[in-house]
Structure 1
Amino acid sequence: MSVPVFSAAHRSSAVDALRAAGCVFAEDEAELILATARTPAEAAAMVERRAGGLPLEHVVGWAEFRGLRVAVDPGVFVPRRRTEFLVARAAALAGREAVVVDLCCGSGALGAALAASLDRIELHAADIDPAAVRCARRNIADAGGRVYEGDLYDPLPGTLRGRVGILLANVPYVPTDEVGLLPAEARVHEARVALDGGADGLDVLRRVTEQAPRWLAPGGHLLFETSEGQVSAALAAVERADLVGHVVEDEERYATVVIGTWPGGGR
């Protein structure tokens, strides 16, 4: 019978160190760290990094998202659990198969999770951050997805124009002046390009909506997350692009998702 690598003393020490660092869920985080580490020395180093403020997902190298273990490399945006609601709405709209584009894909969590929900998917993703692109390529490999490096639609193959059924756009929507108010885990350890949405938080979104009709198939859907205070302006951007917009919310997750549907026609 094998002897457990980690004793009760190891667990207690990890919990104490995390609690002293202000980790609210110290016990749960210690369990994840010890379940990931291969040796006591590695566990101690991971606890030290977490106590120093590194996001837990960067410490263990993965995040749970809609039941998947998604790789999250240092510096890459950590997928938020509230964004699972966006993926659920996309899955409901997609049916059992779809052509999907995941813009501002970060780790590729949204595309990977949607692929796991569908019978058949043609998946493409893009991000401007090279670290995110490398991470996303690993996460969507099993779905046969392709990841491109570049600014929004720029790196996508032209053959996708007019074919996209589901356009996921997890754009940054934090106003520039409010980035400094974010928790240090995000502000210090995630790429600013994944957080900063410009003066009112909607600069990137406006660029996405403006070009969306060129890529969406008739009846295709653009989905993005925003804050409650930005809904009116976000809907206005959707409607300026001749998309039919509506808002869905999940109060339990504090998630607000805007859906823009392309009715078709020339543009």
Structure 2
Amino acid sequence: MSSTPPSLASLYREYTGFFREHGFDSPEVEAAYLLSDVSGVSHTLIPFSDSIPDTDALRCAEERLRRRLAGEPYQYICGWAAFRELRLSVGPGCLIPRPETELLVDRILSVLPRGGRFCEWGTGSGAIALSLAFERPDADVSASELSPDAFAWAEKNRTDLQLSRVRLRQGDLGSPFKDERFDVIAANLPYISPDEKASLPVNVRDWEPPEALFADRNGLALLDRAIREAPDYLNPRGWLLLEIGETQGPHLLETAKRWSHAEIAKDQYGADRFFIGTV
């Protein structure tokens, strides 16, 4: 780095070059958002800004650049991820919420009755359950999480978002809610086959928790379990909604062949992404 204090625009050009050299798909976007986050200047203005960041901001930018070039997810670096109307704290030990999962929340909202009872299995950061509670104050919302690390992130987000009415329980799928019944159960469970690990982006493969990504039996083990076990936790005509891999739909429909209704819905890219069924 030059000893002369650099402007944001000059840092943008320099950082863009670093990201390009390291093979990032969108080097300009990476540089603009990184510098925007440490400076408070809009990412759209960064390429043209003559503002000179102070010493602390520059040191922070350089540290974030180093971590990002090493492949660490930017959400872990900055400590948060946007999800629908929420800003969720995230970090090592919990899955970073994806845009596809925002669509799952839309599907849940379409079937959750007024004043209905909802439960999320495997809540991770709490993204689905906390969004439901935030957007539907009338709903009774519960969630489970097996991983102690992820559970801690969900508890932090519940506290930070002042959504204490959401019941969080540590445990496997529905086991913490034995003898309870819900109108809707939903989950974004691990559905990637371990055989696919090498093909994943480095920021996913080397950083996000494997227990939140991979499942046995070609990624189907937990999805099959959810379909088999959900009827024990659902009210009559209750719904189960799952995020799934794009090739898993036919198998899951076969698993649910005794349900009164089951279908596969697509995501924003036209890929099969959601199992939707009612008992």
TM class by smaller structure: 0.7 to 0.9
SS at match of 1:233: helix
Q: Does the alignment pair 1:7 with 2:8?
A: yes
CA distance in 1, matches of 2:73, 2:155: 21
Contact kept? 1:137, 1:146, Cα under 8 Å: no
Aligned to 1:217: 235
CA distance in 1, matches of 2:270, 2:26: 18
SS at match of 1:79: coil
CA distance in 2, matches of 1:255, 1:70: 27
Contact kept? 2:8, 2:35, Cα under 8 Å: no
Aligned to 2:174: 153
Amino acid at match of 2:26: F
Contact kept? 2:264, 2:272, Cα under 8 Å: no
Aligned to 2:97: 79
- TM-score normalised by L of structure 1: 0.86
Shift of residue 72 of structure 1? 1.2
SS at match of 1:143: coil
String of CA shifts for 1:207-252, please: whole Å, max 9, x gaps.
1122111111122211001123211111122235x45212221343
Q: Which moved more, 1:231-240 or 1:77-86?
A: 231-240
SS at match of 2:67: helix
CA 1:234/1:6 → structure 2, altered by over 3 Å: closer, same or farther?
Answer: farther
- TM-score normalised by L of structure 2: 0.83
Aligned to 2:157: 139
Structure 1 stretches of 4+ moved >4 Å? none
String of CA shifts for 1:61-86, please: whole Å, max 9, x gaps.
11222232222112321111112111
CA distance in 2, matches of 1:28, 1:68: 22
Contact kept? 2:90, 2:153, Cα under 8 Å: yes
Shift of residue 133 of structure 1? 0.7
CA distance in 1, matches of 2:229, 2:275: 16
SS at match of 2:88: strand
Structure 1 vs Structure 2 CA RMSD: 2.2
Amino acid at match of 1:53: G
* Aligned residue pairs, count: 254
Q: Does the alignment pair 1:234 with 2:252?
A: yes
**% identical equivalent positions:** 30
Segments of structure 2 that go 5 or more residues without pairing to the other structure are: 1-5, 39-55
Shift of residue 174 of structure 1? 1.0
Aligned to 1:22: 23
Q: Does the alignment pair 1:256 with 2:273?
A: yes
Shift of residue 255 of structure 1? 5.1
Contact kept? 1:172, 1:197, Cα under 8 Å: yes
CA 1:98/1:20 → structure 2, altered by over 3 Å: closer, same or farther?
Answer: farther
Q: Does the alignment pair 1:66 with 2:69?
A: no
CA distance in 2, matches of 1:167, 1:6: 51
CA distance in 2, matches of 1:72, 1:253: 28
Contact kept? 1:21, 1:52, Cα under 8 Å: no
CA distance in 2, matches of 1:222, 1:68: 24
CA 1:7/1:180 → structure 2, altered by over 3 Å: closer, same or farther?
Answer: closer
